[in-house]
């Protein structure tokens, strides 16, 4: 069984790798992502249960961006 400390370490490592690979985070996105991870979540999960066409969960930032787009352009989406 993993301890909370071990899990946090893995999540922080994941965050660092993710940020290095994405590179184009706005300050508000970075802040939200850091809070998401600090709350014990993976960067590769999202609070909206949104998935891509392949059925895999969207990462937190992709889901956050999609939700923002859906809210600002609802006419582009069929619900």
Cβ neighbours for 41, distance < 8 A, ≥ 6 positions apart: 11, 47, 60
pLDDT in tens, 19-72: 999 988 999 999 999 999 999 999 999 999 999 999 999 999 999 999 999 999
The pLDDT assigned to 1 comes to 66
End-to-end CA distance of the chain: 41
Domains of the chain by residue range: 4-76
pLDDT of residue 18: 97
């Amino acid at each position: 069984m993993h301890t909370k400390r071990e899990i946090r370490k893995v999540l922080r490592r994941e965050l660092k790798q993710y940020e290095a690979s994405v590179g184009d985070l706005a300050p508000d996105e970075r802040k939200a992502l850091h809070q998401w991870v600090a709350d014990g979540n993976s960067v590769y999960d999202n609070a909206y249960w949104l998935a891509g066409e392949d059925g895999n969960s969207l990462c937190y930032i992709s889901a956050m961006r999609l939700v923002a787009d859906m809210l600002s352009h609802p006419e582009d989406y069929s619900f």
